[in-house]
Amino acid sequence: MKGDSENRFPEGVARREVERRRNGVAVRLRDAVAEEIPIAFVYNDRPHAVMMATPADLEDFARGFSLSEGIVDDVSQCGKVEIVEALAGIELRIDIPAANAALLEDRVRELTGRTGCGLCGAQTLDAAVRHPPAVAEAPDVAEAALRRALCEMPSLQVVNAATGAVHAAAWANLDGHIALLREDVGRHNALDKLIGAMQRAGTDPCTGFLVVTSRASYEMVMKAATVGIGFLAAVSAPTALAIALAREANLTLVGFARADGYGVYAHGRRLLARSAAQPAHEVFGQRTA
């Protein structure tokens, strides 16, 4: 059982001894570190995947992963979610309809994922690169709202504040205020947890936008588009494949998002600049207004 000092930390944070050396002086102390353990997804009693993840918000993780990976089409198809602690990690035992379980069996994707891995174990190129349907509807987002969300996020990242080791995925309302945020050592896991939280809250993807603290890799765009999210802003860079998929999926993709600027890589019409009278000037490697 954790002591009182450990209970002050948020879920997913552990304490470990460290020797800190500064200016030739060594000090031993107990440091806050992010937990990372195997999380096994078990559907209808059959193992499917093992992801290395932070053991927090696990029901959200179960439902979000099931949706973003196309295992179910709607959160209502996720029945009972049982969280079972095992010697080596945690099992998420999820009940899904028999028809979904049969399709899952056909995919033959029993896999072991490294931290946040979104493709590990895919056995064919078609399985590795999924093409979700184009997002049917997505909102316009004001620059001011994006800036507000970016400014709000750090104060809500409690696990990262304690450890400096995790990613965050946040859902912002169109006014830029953060409505939901989830953290994990894996960027894909953080997004899956957020998707699960959104579904449980009944959040409509047309009522806001997604902000992530990581790079915008293909898997992040794929997961967002799969659940109907049409606007994704990443603090770091996008990949070429992510840009191609965003363009194909009708998803607005913003990279290098900062309070003082950003790069627009796909469907930039939805990001509303300060003034239509101030056209954007394209410069290689950056976008300025």
In angstroms, the CA 18 to CA 273 distance is 47
Q: Phi and psi for 269 in degrees, rounded to 5?
A: -60, -25
What is the C-alpha R_g of the chain? 20
Residue 149 CA to chain centroid, in angstroms?
16
Q: Phi and psi for 13 in degrees, rounded to 5?
A: -115, 135
Among residues 78, 117, 151, 206, the one annotated as catalytic is 117
In angstroms, the CA 158 to CA 11 distance is 10
- What's the DSSP call for residue 41? E
In angstroms, the CA 213 to CA 256 distance is 10
In angstroms, the CA 231 to CA 250 distance is 9
120 is catalytic: no
Catalytic residues: 117
